[in-house]
Amino acid sequence: MKILVTGGAGFIGSAVIRHIIQNTQNSVLNVDKLTYAGNLESLSLIEKNPNYQFSHTDICDRAALDQIFTDFQPDLIMHLAAESHVDRSITGSAAFVETNIIGTYQLLEATRHYWNALPENKKTAFRFHHISTDEVYGDLEGTEDLFLETTPYAPSSPYSASKASSDHLVRAWNRTYGLPTIITNCSNNYGPYHFPEKLIPLVILNALAGKALPVYGNGAQIRDWLYVEDHARALYQVVTEAAVGETYNIGGHNEQQNIDVVHAICELLEELAPNKPEGVAQYKDLITYVTDRPGHDLRYAIDATKIKQDLGWVPQETFATGLRKTVQWYLDHQDWVANVQSGEYQNWVAQQYQSEQA
């Protein structure tokens, strides 16, 4: 099959492409705008594979999309292109509306135009898989509650609102035009090649550099952590096996408080990187509590029963095994880290966390 992946230079997208190229005979076209979080070095393991190709394209560019569909003739679409950082959405929401809403609309329309012209057998087999987030559900009040596929949407941030909007567009294109769509909503991902603005890589790299480890509020926010390679397996299984119109929640069965995640990283670094920066007695001494961000959801947790029952998918990594692999990967790939940390990223981190010191 020919699979078009949008946002394939991003964290989850690159994991999906690596999984497909390394484990199947399918061809992949990676369509990515290469914003600050897009990094083609994350695809260095497969970039020379004849089944892989890249197009530097913005999904908001309808003419470019039409040409891509004409040239590549995809059998499946996996739509991962998105602005995805909550903090950035609070300080600059326009990019989230543009990419996540307008970009999804342009991609849906380009797909619909292409799909309508396919012969009936290809039309029937075609799928548009939209990859979304559990943040569209808002947060959970009870300690035992879980997000279900039927949980009402109640997004809290400009990011989650833009993703909720894109989910609604995808469902509408299925209901109104018959476009064969599938949606998945995942919990927090972590693992190799994660851009260093997110919690786990930020803590690892700041600790190694002897910098403060910023924790919002008291660190009691709870997230369900999903190892990115487990997620990539799930996404491929969904796009190739799920029925049209289905929605699946994908979670790691690993609920952790943010402060416990930070402590776990510090303990792993004590073992795996005992030679600390000058002046640092223990990595945990670098923990710094900063003012909580506006509208911060307290708890996310996914019930992934449906995907287990329907498709047989379960995560292979526990949080302990996945986190150890992640920390070791960053220790072994300092060159990737150095290349991805551009001036723009460093300036943003300084501005974001320096201004929020409690």
Please say if 344 is a catalytic residue: no
For tokens 């012969």, what's the residue? 119
At residue 138, the 3 state secondary structure works out as coil
| Rounded Cα gap, residues 13 and 243, in angstroms | 22
Helices (H), 40-157: 62-72, 86-91, 94-96, 104-116, 120-125
Q: Exactly one of 52, 105, 159, 190 is catalytic; which is it?
A: 159
Report the candidate in 171, 185, 256, 167 with the shortest Cα–Cα distance to residue 220: 256
Q: What are phi and psi of 21, to 5 degrees?
A: -65, -40
Q: For residue 135, indicate whether it is catalytic.
A: yes
199-216 burial, b for 16+ CB within 10 Å, e for fewer? bbbbbbebbbeebbbbbb
What's the helix, strand, coil split of the chain in %, to 5? 45, 15, 35
- Annotated catalytic residue: which of 32, 83, 87, 135? 135
- Which own/partner pairs from 312-318 qualify as long-range (CB within 8 Å, at least 24 positions apart)? 313/233, 313/234, 313/237, 313/250, 315/226, 315/227, 315/230, 315/251, 315/252, 315/253, 315/254, 316/227, 316/230, 316/233, 317/227, 317/229, 317/230, 317/252, 318/254
- CA gap 214, 338 in Å, rounded: 20
Q: Which two tokens stand for residue 334?
A: 């300092």
Known catalytic residue at 159: yes
Secondary structure (3-state) at 333: coil
Cα–chain center distance at 208: 24
Q: Choose, from 32, 87, 134, 167, the residue flagged as catalytic.
A: 134
User: Annotated catalytic sites, by residue?
Assistant: 134-135, 159
